[in-house]
Structure 1
Amino acid sequence: MGYVTSLFARKMVAAAGDRIDADALLLLIGIDPAGPWDPKAMITAESYYAMLERMAEQIDVTDLPVRTGASMRLDEYGALGLAFKAATTLGASYARVERYARLWTSVVEYELRPSAGGTLFILHRAGARRLGLRLSNEATLASAVSIARQVSPVPVAPMTVLVRHAAPRRVTAHEAWFGCPVHFNAELDAILFSNETLARPNILGDEGISRYLVSHLDAELSRIPDAPEVVRRAKDAIAQALSEGTPKMAEIARSLGFSARSFHRRLSEHGMSYHALAEETRRDLAEGLLRDDRHTLAEIAFLTGFSEQSAFTRAFKRWMGTTPASYRKQRAGS
């Protein structure tokens, strides 16, 4: 069963204002209205979606996700919010979200993917496109822009926002908030940023503080229960095949004894996509190999499935906010 942080539920209820019985809704999903706003306190995704759908029976929720996303503050995210602030660039900030999102949800994964004209910040969430999930996705995309604007020295506006589900009854609030076209019925839930925007230095970026916070987040991540067996086996199979390039999902599925459709379904049950799993495997393998001085950067690029060292360097900087050479030097000095 998937989970999300109770913070999201509290923010949705707060954004609705006095048009609903906030205390009753929170109690319904097991949240003490008078309790602390603790992002580590989790609720099931199912109960969260059901709460949103009950709200939709009482009020017009068309603009609610935008208002909720706009209200999100980095200080409410705990150590991850601080790490987002301390990253040296906005791209590095989003790389923190991509890596550490498991600290607040098990049903969503994030991915930074190069695209024509910029980089996509993609939201992966498996499951039927029920109303609660759709509202949650819209709020997540809105909050991703909200937190970016809190660290940037200049106003942040995406190039385009993509949403997989059909448009709500009106989209004026969405386009006003994002400051760009919002395309519904798209193939992805994603935000397209220019590379210039992602390369811009953050207001409070600090490499020293950033390294400390990342080590803290790594420790928190290590305390999350191990991944399901199918995920562990898939990561092992991907790692073994990477020296010949990134393997296709069908190849990994076959090696594990699954059909491609069955394998995709098994990953989706654990809130994962194959692309995100392959990227995670590449990143983890690269980090491990960089700790071993016997491997050159060219060898590590080859072992992690890159045809050129320059491509590996770009990917690693996207993942970690620093180059492989700098990362190795920092680890050696720690």
Structure 2
Amino acid sequence: MRSAGLQRFRETVEGLGGDPARYARQAGLPVAALDTDDLLIEDTAIAAVLEIAAVALRCPDLGLRVASAQDLSMLGPLAVAIQHSPSVGDALECTSRYMFVHARDLHVSLIDDPEGAPGVKGLRYAFGAGVRPLPQATDMTVLFVHRAVTFLVGGGYGLRSVDLPHRPAAPRQRYEQAFGARVRFGRPEALLRVPASLLGRPLEGVDATLRSLALAFLSRQAPEPGSPVAARVRAVLAQALGTGSTDLAGVARALAVHPRTLQRELAGQGRSFAEILDGLRRSRAHTYLTGTDMPLAQVSRLLGFAEQAVLSRCARRWWGTSPSALRRAARQ
């Protein structure tokens, strides 16, 4: 998950007198994740740091507090596509299709109302197959979704009720104050029950060009499941390079296949995992070395190399020269 999922966590915790860096370390999170948006971090660690902080601060509504301080910008390019969708329905479809760019195992989708009420839909939040998220993370995410819809339509949208799968962490009235609707606990799924008419509601201030650019960017981040496996491997590596796992096992886990299966599928296309990773690193290295003044040590880190000497060896293999020489030639 992108570390943007922790937007406003530091400010909220410090406002309550807590130490966000200490809680991050206890949860196994890099402290840098508190202050930057694009580190790839374990989603379970985000859930853990919220629970740890809530207990330490004796603040059972911490997830609600953090969500109340967050805004749509947390979703990065996806936020641009959502804001410039022609209708709420289009915005939700876009969210469902491209949420993987923000979080690989987080899913937001529309379903039929579980109560069978006419004219009502369920806006469901799910977190991986068979996984039940911890309460604070669930509270934070579901309230964020509610606030995002409220922002898109410019006010209330007729929320019928809220279903949460856990017992209330804070008093019930605190939840109902945050959502402005009835909240039910211990339900099978986390969802917002919304009027079906909401889907056709047009959004104002839409820029079709901005939306097209955002969608083009999002579509390049990970091709559709039917795309060649080499393209999907490269897309996962492109997101993880320099911030997450770039080994075969990690990429196979992101694509929900066994590592040996992934190797066989790549071999069937005449490709190898090492070749794809090397090609991506070469492309990124050329961009960093010829288009920026970034120090070589930083370039090495962004390519996922343990030390600068590895970059030097690769540069001589790729271009027959050193990184510094390549940069000088580009400037000339």
**Normalising by structure 2, what TM-score?**
0.61
1:35-74 to 2 correspondence within 5 Å?
A: 36-38=35-37, 40-74=38-72
RMSD: 2.5
CA distance in 2, matches of 1:101, 1:34: 19
SS at match of 1:109: strand
1:89-108 to 2 correspondence within 5 Å?
A: 89-108=87-106
8 Å contact kept, 1:65–1:136: yes
> Which protein has the larger Cα radius of gyration, Structure 1 or Structure 2?
2
- Among 216, 227, 251, the alignment partner of 2:255 is 227
8 Å contact kept, 2:7–2:34: no
AA of the residue aligned to 1:75: S
Note if 1:218 corresponds to 2:215.
no
AA of the residue aligned to 2:24: L
AA of the residue aligned to 1:120: G
AA of the residue aligned to 2:53: M
Aligned to 2:81: 83
8 Å contact kept, 1:165–1:185: yes
TM-superposed CA distance for 1:114, in Å, is 3.0
TM-superposed CA distance for 1:191, in Å, is 0.7
CA distance in 2, matches of 1:87, 1:114: 22
8 Å contact kept, 2:165–2:185: yes
TM-superposed CA distance for 1:150, in Å, is 1.9
Aligned to 1:125: 127
Q: How many residues align?
A: 225
Note if 1:26 corresponds to 2:27.
no
Aligned to 1:328: none
TM-superposed CA distance for 1:183, in Å, is 0.7
8 Å contact kept, 1:159–1:193: yes
AA of the residue aligned to 2:97: R
Aligned to 1:303: none
Deviation track 1:15-40 (CA, whole Å, cap 9, x = no partner) reads 232421123233553434597522x3
AA of the residue aligned to 1:214: L
Q: 1:54 to 1:77 in 2, by over 3 A?
A: same
AA of the residue aligned to 2:36: W
CA distance in 2, matches of 1:193, 1:36: 34
Aligned to 2:6: 9
TM-superposed CA distance for 1:82, in Å, is 0.8
Q: 1:153 to 1:49 in 2, by over 3 A?
A: closer
8 Å contact kept, 1:165–1:184: yes
CA distance in 1, matches of 2:60, 2:39: 27
CA distance in 2, matches of 1:79, 1:43: 18
8 Å contact kept, 2:3–2:34: no
Deviation track 1:241-272 (CA, whole Å, cap 9, x = no partner) reads xxxxxxxxxxxxxxxxxxxxxxxxxxxxxxxx
CA distance in 2, matches of 1:128, 1:65: 19
Deviation track 1:290-327 (CA, whole Å, cap 9, x = no partner) reads xxxxxxxxxxxxxxxxxxxxxxxxxxxxxxxxxxxxxx
8 Å contact kept, 1:83–1:96: yes
8 Å contact kept, 1:164–1:184: yes
1:278-289 to 2 correspondence within 5 Å?
A: none
CA distance in 1, matches of 2:140, 2:158: 16
SS at match of 2:8: helix
**Normalising by structure 1, what TM-score?**
0.61
Aligned to 1:172: 173
CA distance in 1, matches of 2:172, 2:139: 11
TM-superposed CA distance for 1:169, in Å, is 4.0
TM-superposed CA distance for 1:172, in Å, is 1.5
TM-superposed CA distance for 1:96, in Å, is 1.6
8 Å contact kept, 2:164–2:187: yes
Q: 1:34 to 1:154 in 2, by over 3 A?
A: closer
CA distance in 2, matches of 1:34, 1:161: 30
Aligned to 2:195: 194
CA distance in 1, matches of 2:121, 2:147: 18
Aligned to 2:136: 135
SS at match of 1:228: coil
CA distance in 2, matches of 1:167, 1:34: 28
TM-superposed CA distance for 1:124, in Å, is 1.2
TM-superposed CA distance for 1:160, in Å, is 1.2
The share of aligned pairs that are identical, in percent, is 17
8 Å contact kept, 1:153–1:203: no
CA distance in 2, matches of 1:35, 1:110: 24
8 Å contact kept, 1:12–1:65: no
TM-superposed CA distance for 1:49, in Å, is 2.6
1:267-282 to 2 correspondence within 5 Å?
A: none
Deviation track 1:210-247 (CA, whole Å, cap 9, x = no partner) reads 222112111112313572237xx9xxxxxxxxxxxxxx
